[in-house]
Structure 1
């Protein structure tokens, strides 16, 4: 049985609209196909896409966080050297 939505599921677009190296939007993390066909998709598919986008965003943030962390902590210089 399909659930009836009272309100339309809004696009997760935040207006960045730039594609990353894998073709996903850097703002909402949707694929090209997901952006192209968003209006035509049924609400249950839109919900799945929004969940997938949240997972993609988490992965991207975790990846950028690990690449930003220094491998060695900076060494404090001695005052007497």
Structure 2
């Protein structure tokens, strides 16, 4: 699954960023630089979350439509997942 690998790659990149931030703190780097990197990690996590929720919604909608079911619940669940993360 191509999308799954994209998500895994993003998470591995974020993991590396977090290790970098840890090292910066251990080396007592400039606070501004640390905050900049933490902000970048946060932004990357938010984009990854949005991708995961979007792919989940897409799959749920596709499954429900194929079964002839109402997709409203899947849409509401996706919205709740996104609003909880904010």
| TM-score normalised to structure 1 length | 0.50
| TM-score normalised to structure 2 length | 0.48
Point out the structure with the larger helix share.
Answer: 2
